[in-house]
């Protein structure tokens, strides 16, 4: 057996170790940081390693508060030592040891951001690997303990049982969240009035690593900007769907100025009584056009089921869907082959009842442009 | 006070056929000229409400006509008026949703569904008393 010179052997071991370390480092670098924020959010950085995702405004506020921290402490200390805040200020508590003095509303905002941290991350949080480090930023699991405005921490012994109960409740909630399944949208979807395939660039603009959550958030913002405040989520094969509530539209496919969300048909008035209005109502010529838009996000091509949806059923889609994407689905990358298709269901509702219009009065482009959704998506960076 | 059975039958038959005719005319008008109406549902509501009673009336009248040797029976006026009143009520309740739905703010299908609640009650009573007049009476 050949024996190496001891010096050479040591040198060889050092080289191998260095190579291994470099390989590990490159693997770590190539993997995205587990706390990358979804589009529109940035790290708060209230302290080093603070990776809670907040809006840019909050980040700037946090930086300002850090700069002014010294000016907001009592000059000669106080009941709570050197960190005692001046009247009107309280400890921010972005983490338990965070004693930067801020206004009470900033403290509330900080607690809210901590609770919502897990919903704003691009990838699944590190909770899958076990509990986060003790000094890590507070996650949705932690509830801030009540602290008087002077910023004094309660006695640690009194907090322990409360914290244990809270941790147990949080674990149960986390288990419920993890097991939540989106309701399934009827698939293949019922025959629609018209459809429009949305350009991918509209949905992922400015996002280097889009996820389902970031794309859904972008679409929600575009919908909310046009008054669609009720959006529900469904599961579809390999993806998800977003459903809007039924709305009345005008002859230009724009949302109606009056009674937009009401499906009621006004009765013919008795006083004064109009024969013309009565006959129009008798023959169903007093109707209006309504629509429901279903945005499907799936790489799987699809046809229709062939069974038309009853108007009453389509009207309840928004009630039966989920209010948000589950975190697990939201954290998945938005696939390069995922296609967003807007299915528009157009209904005519008159005094003789409701009926699906196929084909619709408008095409998909007219519907989405009339609704203002396309223009907002095109404008948003 | 009594009334001839033949006279009572003819008057009741006239009431039912005129009432059914008015309903039929309104439905035909809607079927031809209305937009986006569920015609199947509409006629499905009307036909079972009228056709059985009309068939009964026609059948008994034809039979009576063929067997004119039968002695004319006298019926109590109270029974006749009760039958007339219930028949009028039933026909009115049939016409009510057809003619008044534009004034209610409800759609026609909604109102037709609701009308089954009260029609079921009155139909039984009206059909029951009609049986006193429109039943085959063979000679013993």
Is A30 inside a domain boundary? Answer: no
Do A170 and A209 reside in the same domain of the chain?
A: no
Do A277 and A133 reside in the same domain of the chain?
A: no
Do A198 and A330 reside in the same domain of the chain?
A: yes
Do A212 and A345 reside in the same domain of the chain?
A: yes
Do A292 and A259 reside in the same domain of the chain?
A: yes
Do A173 and A221 reside in the same domain of the chain?
A: no
Query: End of a domain among A179, A210, A236?
Result: A179
A240 CB contacts (<8 Å, ≥6 apart)?
A182, A212, A216, A233, A234, A296, A297, A298, A325, A329
Is A367 inside a domain boundary? Answer: yes
Do A168 and A298 reside in the same domain of the chain?
A: no
Task: Report the chain A residue with the minimal C-alpha distance to residue B39.
Answer: A352
Bridge-partner residues for A194, per DSSP? A344
User: Are A284 and B109 in contact (CB < 8 Å)?
Assistant: no
Q: What are phi and psi of A182, to 5 degrees?
A: -65, 145
How many separate domains does chain A show? Answer: 2
Which residues of chain A neighbour B35 with C-beta distances below 8 Å? 283-285, 287, 348, 350, 352
Do A205 and A158 reside in the same domain of the chain?
A: no
Is A228 inside a domain boundary? Answer: yes
User: Are A278 and B104 in contact (CB < 8 Å)?
Assistant: no
Do A239 and A336 reside in the same domain of the chain?
A: yes
Is A136 inside a domain boundary? Answer: yes
| Pair A295, A242: CB distance under 8 Å | yes
Do A156 and A264 reside in the same domain of the chain?
A: no
Q: What does the angle CA A187 – CA A198 – CA A242 come to, to the nearest 5 degrees? A: 45
Query: End of a domain among A145, A179, A213?
Result: A179
Is A160 inside a domain boundary? Answer: yes
Taking only Cα atoms into account, the Rg of chain B, rounded to an integer number of angstroms, comes to: 17
Task: Report the chain B residue with the minimal C-alpha distance to residue A282.
Answer: B102
Domain that holds residue A291: 194-379
- CA nearest to A138, candidates A119, A176, A110, A159: A110
Do A274 and A235 reside in the same domain of the chain?
A: yes
Nearest neighbour of B30 by CB, restricted to A283, A349, A354: A283
Do A232 and A102 reside in the same domain of the chain?
A: no
Is A21 inside a domain boundary? Answer: no
CA distance A211 to A297: 12
Query: End of a domain among A119, A146, A179?
Result: A179
User: Are B36 and A285 in contact (CB < 8 Å)?
Assistant: no
In this structure, the number of other CB atoms found within 10 A of the CB of residue A18 comes to 10
Is A153 inside a domain boundary? Answer: yes
The pTM (predicted TM-score) of the whole model is 0.62
What is chain A's pLDDT, residue by residue, as a tens digit (381 residues)?
Answer: 455 677 777 777 767 776 666 555 544 444 445 677 877 788 999 998 898 888 888 899 999 999 998 889 888 888 888 888 998 899 999 988 899 999 988 888 888 788 777 767 765 443 333 334 444 444 444 444 444 444 444 444 444 667 777 777 777 776 666 668 899 999 999 999 999 999 999 999 878 889 999 999 999 999 999 999 999 999 999 999 999 999 999 999 999 999 999 998 888 988 888 999 999 998 988 889 999 999 999 999 999 998 999 888 999 999 999 999 998 899 999 989 999 999 999 999 999 988 899 999 999 999 999 999 999 999 866
DSSP assignment of A258-307: SSTT--PPPPPPTTTT-HHHHHHHHTTTT-EEEEEEEEEEESS-----SS
- Helices B39-66 and B108-130 sit at what angle, rounded to 10 degrees? 20
Is A101 inside a domain boundary? Answer: yes
């Amino acid at each position: 057996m050949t024996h190496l010179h001891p010096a050479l052997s040591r040198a060889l071991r050092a080289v191998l170790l260095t190579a291994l370390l470099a390989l590990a480092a490159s693997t770590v670098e190539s993997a995205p940081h587990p706390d990358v924020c979804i589009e529109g959010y940035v790290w708060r950085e209230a302290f080093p390693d603070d990776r809670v995702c907040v809006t840019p405004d909050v980040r700037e506020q946090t930086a300002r508060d850090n700069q002014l921290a010294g000016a907001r402490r009592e000059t000669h200390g106080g009941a709570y030592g050197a960190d005692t805040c001046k009247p009107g200020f309280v400890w921010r508590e972005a983490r338990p040891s965070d004693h930067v003095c801020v206004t009470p509303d900033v403290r509330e905002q900080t607690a809210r951001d901590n609770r919502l941290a897990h919903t704003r991350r691009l990838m699944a949080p590190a909770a899958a690997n076990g509990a986060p480090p003790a000094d890590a930023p507070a996650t949705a699991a932690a509830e801030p303990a009540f602290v008087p405005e002077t910023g004094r921490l309660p006695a640690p012994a009194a907090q322990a049982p409360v914290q244990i109960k809270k941790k147990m409740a949080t674990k149960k909630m986390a288990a419920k969240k993890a097991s939540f399944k989106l309701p399934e949208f009827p698939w293949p979807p019922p025959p629609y009035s018209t459809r429009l395939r949305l350009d991918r660039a509209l949905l992922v603009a400015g996002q280097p690593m889009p996820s389902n959550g970031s794309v859904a958030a972008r679409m929600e913002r575009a919908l909310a900007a046009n008054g669609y405040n009720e959006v529900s989520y469904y599961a579809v094969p390999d993806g998800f769907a977003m459903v809007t509530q039924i709305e009345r539209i005008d002859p230009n496919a724009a949302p109606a100025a009056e009674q937009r969300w009401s499906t009621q048909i006004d009765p013919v008035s008795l006083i004064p009584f109009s024969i013309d209005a009565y006959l129009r109502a008798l023959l169903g010529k007093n109707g209006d056009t309504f629509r429901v838009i279903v945005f499907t996000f799936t790489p799987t091509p699809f046809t229709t089921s062939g069974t038309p949806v009853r108007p009453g059923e389509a009207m309840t889609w928004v009630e039966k869907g989920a209010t948000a994407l589950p975190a697990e689905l939201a954290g998945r990358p938005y696939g390069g082959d995922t296609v967003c298709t807007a299915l528009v269901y157009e209904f005519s509702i008159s005094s003789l009842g409701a009926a699906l219009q196929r084909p619709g009065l408008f095409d998909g482009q007219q519907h989405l442009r009339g609704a203002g959704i396309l223009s907002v998506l095109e404008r948003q960076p | 006070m009594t009334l001839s059975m033949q006279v009572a039958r003819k008057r009741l038959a006239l009431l039912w056929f005129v009432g059914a005719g008015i309903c039929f005319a309104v439905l035909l008008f809607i079927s031809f000229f209305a937009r986006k109406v569920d015609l199947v549902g509409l006629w499905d509501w009307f036909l079972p409400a009228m056709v059985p009673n009309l068939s009964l009336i026609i059948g008994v009248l034809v039979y009576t006509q063929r067997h004119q040797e039968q002695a004319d029976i006298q019926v109590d006026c109270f029974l006749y008026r009760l039958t007339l009143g219930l028949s009028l009520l039933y026909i009115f309740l049939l016409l009510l949703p057809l003619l008044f739905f534009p004034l209610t703010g409800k759609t026609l299908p909604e109102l037709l569904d609701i009308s089954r609640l009260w029609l079921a009650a009155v139909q039984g009573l009206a059909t029951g008393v009609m049986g006193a007049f429109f039943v085959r009476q063979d000679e013993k």
